[in-house]
């Protein structure tokens, strides 16, 4: 009997020791679910016509423009220069520029739509189910950076309403020659008049001789009406001959009403000839042959 009692007591001790070991060994806790940040980019490309401020797939662009609720932020490049968000407005498949100026004709317009997605692995449940990765869009309000800025209501940029344009410092050197040949066709439209000095024309006190227009005859021998002598046109000239001798221009003053000679030392009957020249029909033609070379160095 004593031996049986001893065996039963031994089994109880072994079971107790096993339970103690099981309690002392702790099972590791399951790791917390990990999150992986994924980036998705969608591009839209278009060309400016120099007039319209609206862009989109329906206006000849390629790609698509997702709605702001599906995007974390946008990056807009106009002619390869990034623009602040205050200069444009985004809608589903639509881009509208708010700037005062419009991109020049042919300028490329590139819109990059960036979406941040959190891929999270949920905890395992007791039931055996397939594990699905949930993708949650990230739409956090970021700083006022020109490269990363959200489309929140009331979030206005600090830049003036004009497009940002690329700036390059460049220096150019022009070398070569330009050969120019000018042909001038001079047209001298001359009208001639003649008269004879009479005694009433001579004013000894004033030291002048005044020949009225009515005393002149034209080349056809016709008398000139009063006030009908031609005026000297701009660029024109006149010649005065007294007794066949050419006089200095400072000594004569022609006008439509007559001719005044700056002298009274003249005899009645002296012939006076007046020739008026007009060069208004003169033409010139120039032909240039350039041989130029421009060397431009861009320092950027």
Residues 6+ away with beta carbon under 8 Å from 170: 296, 297, 298, 299
Nearest to 201 by CA among 263, 275, 274: 263
User: What pLDDT, on a 0 to 100 scale, did the predictor assign at position 100?
Assistant: 86
User: What pLDDT, on a 0 to 100 scale, did the predictor assign at position 207?
Assistant: 93
DSSP for residue 58: G
- Residue 20, SS3? helix
Instruction: Report the C-alpha gap between 82 and 163 in whole angstroms.
Output: 9
- DSSP H or E run through 247: none
Sign of torsion, CA 70 73 78 84?
A: positive
The two structure tokens encoding residue 168:
């390059």
Q: Where are the domains of the chain?
A: 35-167, 185-283
Q: How far is CA 25 from the centre of its chain?
A: 78
User: What pLDDT, on a 0 to 100 scale, did the predictor assign at position 23?
Assistant: 57
DSSP for residue 50: S
Sites in the chain below the pLDDT cut of 70: 1-35, 119-161, 300
User: What pLDDT, on a 0 to 100 scale, did the predictor assign at position 289?
Assistant: 94
Instruction: Report the C-alpha gap between 113 and 10 in whole angstroms.
Output: 74
Residues 60-81 pLDDT 10s:
899 999 999 889 999 999 988 9
Instruction: Report the C-alpha gap between 55 and 45 in whole angstroms.
Output: 9
């Amino acid at each position: 009997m004593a031996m049986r009692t001893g065996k039963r007591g031994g089994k109880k001790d072994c079971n107790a020791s096993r339970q103690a070991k099981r309690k002392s060994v702790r099972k590791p806790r399951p790791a917390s679910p990990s999150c992986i940040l994924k980036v998705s980019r969608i591009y839209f490309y278009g060309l400016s016509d120099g007039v319209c401020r609206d862009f989109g797939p329906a206006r000849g662009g390629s790609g698509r423009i997702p709605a702001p609720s599906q995007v974390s932020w946008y990056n807009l490049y106009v002619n390869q220069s990034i623009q602040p968000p205050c200069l444009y407005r985004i809608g589903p498949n639509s881009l509208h520029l708010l700037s005062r100026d419009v991109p020049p004709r042919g300028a490329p317009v590139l819109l990059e739509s960036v979406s941040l997605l959190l891929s999270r692995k949920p905890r395992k449940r007791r039931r055996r189910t397939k594990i699905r990765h949930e993708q949650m869009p990230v739409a956090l309000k970021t700083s006022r950076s020109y490269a990363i800025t959200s489309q929140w209501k009331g979030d206005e940029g600090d830049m003036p309403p004009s497009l940002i344009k690329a700036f390059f410092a460049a220096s150019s050197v022009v070398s070569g020659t330009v050969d120019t040949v000018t042909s001038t066709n001079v047209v001298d439209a001359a009208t001639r008049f003649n008269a004879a000095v009479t005694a009433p024309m001579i004013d000894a006190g004033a030291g002048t001789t005044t020949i009225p227009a009515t005393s002149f005859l034209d080349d056809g021998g016709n008398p000139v009406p009063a006030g009908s002598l031609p005026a000297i046109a701009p660029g024109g000239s006149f010649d005065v001959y007294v007794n066949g001798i050419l006089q200095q221009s400072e000594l004569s003053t022609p006008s439509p009403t007559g001719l005044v000679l700056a002298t009274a030392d003249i005899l009645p009957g002296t012939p006076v000839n007046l020739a008026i020249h007009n060069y208004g029909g003169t033409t010139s033609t120039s032909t240039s042959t350039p041989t130029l070379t421009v060397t431009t160095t861009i320092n950027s």
